Amino acid sequence: MPIRAYKHKHNINNGKIQIIKEILKEYRKTAKGIAKKQWHIFFKEGSFDKNYKVKEIKSKLSERYKQTCQYQVVSILNSYISNRQNDFVEIVYNSNLNEDIKFILLTINKTKSWFNEKLKEAKLKDKKGKEIKKLPIEKHHYKLARKIIKQTFKRNRFPSFKHISMQLDQKVVKIEKRKEEKAKEFDWWVKLSTLEKGKPIYLPVYKNSYFEEKEGKQLNFVQINEKEDNIEIVFFKEIPKETNYIPKTNKISIDIGLKSLFAVNTGHLYGKQFYKFLKHYDRIITDLQANLQKQGIKPKQSKRYKELNRKLREYIKNEINRILNRIFKIYQPKEIVVENLNFQNGELSPQLNRLLSRFGMKIIKQKLKEFEERFGIKITYVNPAYTSQVCSNCKYVDKRNRKTQEQFECLMCGKKINADVNSSRNIGTRSSSSMLRYKRRTVLRMLIRAYLSDAKHYAYNSRAREVILSNKYFIGYYEPLKITSKEKS
């Protein structure tokens, strides 16, 4: 079942906040020590051990605290390794290795056997379990696999635990509803173990109406974040899966943009005011930042600056969720296809572009994951390379096809269409292809070859040949186009 997090306001006094910060400081220090030990285990055994005896880890935290911390650390490390597995696949797919070696390397990667060398054979089976292929795994295969996975480690830093929040379970925290005769202004009390044995503190927390109304089971699990001079309290609920959901549409594909936040392959555009609002807030925040710098004031010291950024984040989050909910309600799809892309715009400040690429895409993926977990909708991410330059009608790829940010006109077939809608249709078509793992230049080569393989696009057509010969993308593919109709006959 999907689990959702909900922030709750609190009224914790400064004395308790300082106690919590001391716990958090020790928690982070302990997490760093646990991570160091877990990496040692990983490079020896090939996996992390969440049940490792934490008594060996020196810390002011209780054993229960340390075990809770270890669960969180291992979860973060496993997520990191999962991402590196994806990087491994991409490297192998884009290599010049033969298919058998690729298959062996992908098998090693899938089973996370880079370091333990437990597998002796790589086996491929069909859906019925019948063995199709079997290849021996030798020492040099493992050596190559380790080289590749270590390459992904070099490109991506190991997780840092310098600023992690505390994700605490019932071993060290307990959520209690207020008693009727006491502290009526507060709805919840969080009983939190401290660094002093037998001396817990009680944290007063207000109710979150949205959390209260949300269907699901409340978990005895609390996340505590450090927020400048204050802290954040987060509660969790387990949301039940919708068993009566009946899709009305087989598949929709969505292009993510700014002029229109979402374009659906049906031709409909959603979030047309999103970009206008972003530019408005971006101008206000950028001007304020410039004025603060002239006065020698750091932006983070300005209450107005922080409040504007908070409102901007809230707007981005609410607008993305609102529009995706609307799209879901209209189409009720069985599958949603979306490009695996960070959306940015050269007209916005670097700061806002960073916010969109990190925070905005995070919100989109969280919402899509909610659809997947709760309604069983299949979410497919595709390679975005050249989706804005390929004609969704004839598949001709040319940078010149996109006349403006909003207008697409194919130089080959003359198709005129909204540029974002064109991209969304290419995204839908690409959902059944194997392009996701390939690099941009490889995708271009695949698109050109696929286009040229269909002779009807250019055979005996001088205008079509002229268009292609003036396209830089097609350099190296010209020879077939120089065949004249007389030579063909």
Question: Tens of pLDDT along 448-487?
Answer: 988 888 755 555 567 788 888 889 998 887 665 555 444 4
Residue 477 lies in a domain: yes
**Residues 218 and 284 occupy one common structural domain:** no
CA dist list (Å): 445 to 425, 439, 467, 469: 20, 10, 18, 16
Total domains present in the chain: 4
- Sheet containing 188-192: give its strands across: 173-177, 188-192, 201-205
HSE-CB for 479 with a 13 A CA cutoff: 2
**Residues 80 and 141 occupy one common structural domain:** yes
What average pLDDT does this structure show over 160-168? 93
Q: What's the CA gap between 343 and 361, in Å, rounded? A: 8
Where does a domain end: 350, 382, 414? 382
Structure tokens at 170: 């019932």
**Residues 265 and 331 occupy one common structural domain:** yes
Contact (Cβ atoms closer than 8 angstroms) between residue 423 and residue 255: yes
HSE-CB for 315 with a 13 A CA cutoff: 21
Where does a domain end: 155, 178, 203? 155
Can you list the positions of beta strands (E) in 328-415? Answer: 333-339, 378-382, 407-409
> Could you tell me the pLDDT band of residue 489, with boundaries at 50, 70 and 90?
very low
**Residues 53 and 171 occupy one common structural domain:** no
Residue 429 confidence (pLDDT)? 87
Residue 485 confidence (pLDDT)? 41
Which residues sit opposite 26 in a β-bridge?
A: none
Asked if the model's pLDDT at residue 102 lies above 70, the reply is: yes
Q: What's the CA gap between 375 and 363, in Å, rounded? A: 18
Kind and range of the H or E run holding 364: helix 361-375
Residue 149 lies in a domain: yes
Q: What's the CA gap between 236 and 227, in Å, rounded? A: 19
> Could you tell me the pLDDT band of residue 350, with boundaries at 50, 70 and 90?
confident
User: What is the tens place of the pLDDT at every residue in 372-389?
Assistant: 988 999 999 888 889 999
Residue 301 confidence (pLDDT)? 82
Asked if the model's pLDDT at residue 183 lies above 80, the reply is: no
**Residues 208 and 276 occupy one common structural domain:** no
Residue 193 lies in a domain: yes
**Residues 454 and 331 occupy one common structural domain:** no
Backbone angles phi, psi at 263, to 5 degrees: -115, 125
Which range has the worst mean pLDDT, 31-40, 57-66, 103-112, 468-477? Answer: 468-477
Residue that wins the pLDDT comparison between 195 and 480:
195
> Could you tell me the pLDDT band of residue 406, with boundaries at 50, 70 and 90?
confident
**Residues 280 and 374 occupy one common structural domain:** yes
**Residues 372 and 416 occupy one common structural domain:** no
HSE-CB for 87 with a 13 A CA cutoff: 17
What average pLDDT does this structure show over 209-216? 84
Residue 438 confidence (pLDDT)? 76
Q: What's the CA gap between 238 and 1, in Å, rounded? A: 6
Strands 217-227 and 188-192: unpaired
Residue 415 lies in a domain: yes
Residue 16 lies in a domain: no
Structure tokens at 336: 């949603």
**Residues 261 and 336 occupy one common structural domain:** yes
Count how many residues are written for the chain: 489
Residue 162 lies in a domain: no
Nearest Cα residue to 93 out of 447, 438, 445, 441? 438
Residue 23 confidence (pLDDT)? 96
Q: Give residue 232's domain range.
A: 3-10+167-238
Q: What's the CA gap between 160 and 174, in Å, rounded? A: 28
Residue 20 lies in a domain: no
**Residues 224 and 283 occupy one common structural domain:** no
**Residues 185 and 257 occupy one common structural domain:** no
Place of tokens 């002029």: 259
Backbone angles phi, psi at 482, to 5 degrees: -90, 0
Alpha helices by DSSP H, listed for 127-216, are: 139-155, 209-213
Residue 109 confidence (pLDDT)? 94
Residue 277 lies in a domain: yes
**Residues 213 and 314 occupy one common structural domain:** no
CA dist list (Å): 287 to 91, 252, 282, 336, 356: 43, 40, 8, 39, 19
Nearest Cα residue to 354 out of 339, 367, 343? 343
Q: What is the dihedral of CA 458, 461, 464, 465, to 10 degrees?
A: 80
Where does a domain end: 123, 155, 187? 155
Mean pLDDT (the chain) is: 87
